[in-house]
């Protein structure tokens, strides 16, 4: 009898999961449980499938890095009794950092490229409605990196989601004439820190490998001729050197 019941219920589980108020794919549920915070995947290692959101909301961002966060309330909350979310297209939701209104607590600040990790410590990101009511909030550590890590991305700079850092791999290979894109992120104790960094990329031998274009922590390189070259990325006081083999 119990087994039969189980067979009946198991196919219903995906449907029941679809009833969940908050889609937590790639998000972190806020401290008040009123919605999810999402990080832009351009500021992280990998993207959630079919979205521009990071696969995971990070625990920490690197000091000096920039990043973009959005907040998504569940549909049920929009029918709340005293919630004012009327302004299209973003329903009036404003993302702020603690201290931003008062000019204090500069752990996280706002800049032209989104939010920024400014001071070592814990900052708080707050989602408010149009009336200034707090909808939800989440914490994010601003951490000091100790090295750089490099990941391969697709040609748009989006993380491929392999979780494998190419800087941990020896012998990166690229075909002559082919392009590959990489992203550098900071890390602390081998834990990757989110946030886009201001980086500089150089090739040790431009007759073998050239830097095609670089921006906000990402670089696209092209193999020019067969041979070996080093791709060097620097950010702040850190440097990472990749050995690239260009094949004919």
Partner 1 sequence: MIARVLRLAAAPVCALLLAACGPDYDHTEITGSRASVLGGSVDRTQITVPEGMIVTAHIVPLDDEKKAMALTVRSLDAAIVEAAPVIRNNDWAFVGNRVGVTDVQILADDRVVLTIRARVTAQPAR
Contacts to partner 1 by CB under 8 A: 31-32, 34, 77, 80-83, 98-99, 101-105, 107-108, 120-124, 126, 128-129, 132-135, 137, 139, 144
**Min dist. Cβ of residue 209 to partner 1 (A):** 39
Q: Which is nearer to partner 1, 67 or 107 (CB)?
A: 107
Least separation in angstroms between CB 236 and partner 1: 17
Question: In whole angstroms, how far apart are CA 87 and each of 73, 77, 83?
Answer: 14, 15, 12
How far apart are CB 58 and partner 1 at their closest, in Å? 14
- The nearest distance, CB 19 to partner 1, in angstroms, is 22
Phi, psi (5° rounding) for residue 12? -85, -15
Query: 49 forms bridges with which residues in the sheet?
Result: none
Burial of 232 (0-12, 13-18, 19+ CB in 10 A): middle
Closer residue to partner 1, CB minimum distance, 26 or 117: 117
Sign of the alpha-carbon torsion through 20, 24, 30, 31: positive
Complex with partner 1: residue 20 or 82, whichever CB lies closer: 82
Closer residue to partner 1, CB minimum distance, 68 or 97: 97
C-alpha to C-alpha distance for 119 and 107, rounded to whole angstroms: 4
């Amino acid at each position: 009898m119990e087994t039969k019941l189980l067979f009946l219920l198991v196919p219903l589980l995906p449907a029941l999961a679809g009833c969940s108020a908050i889609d937590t794919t790639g998000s972190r549920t806020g401290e008040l449980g009123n919605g999810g915070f999402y990080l832009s995947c351009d500021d992280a290692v990998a993207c959630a499938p079919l979205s521009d959101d990071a696969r995971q909301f990070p625990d920490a961002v690197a000091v000096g890095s920039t990043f973009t966060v959005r907040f998504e309330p569940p549909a049920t909350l929009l029918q709340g009794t005293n919630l004012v979310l009327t302004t299209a297209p973003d329903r009036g939701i404003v993302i702020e950092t603690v201290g931003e209104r008062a000019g204090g607590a500069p752990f996280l600040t706002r800049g032209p490229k989104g939010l920024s990790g400014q001071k070592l410590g814990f900052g708080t990101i707050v989602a408010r409605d149009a009336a200034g009511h707090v909808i939800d909030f989440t914490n994010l550590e601003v951490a000091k990196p100790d090295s750089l890590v490099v990941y391969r991305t697709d040609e748009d700079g989006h993380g491929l989601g392999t979780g494998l850092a190419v800087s941990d791999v020896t012998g990166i290979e690229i075909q002559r004439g082919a392009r590959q894109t990489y992203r550098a992120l900071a890390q602390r104790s081998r834990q990757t820190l989110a946030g886009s960094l201001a980086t500089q990329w150089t090739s040790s031998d431009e007759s073998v490998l050239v830097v095609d274009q670089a921006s906000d922590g990402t670089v696209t390189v092209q193999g020019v001729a067969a041979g070996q070259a080093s791709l060097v990325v620097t950010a702040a006081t850190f440097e990472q050197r990749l050995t690239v083999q260009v094949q004919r």
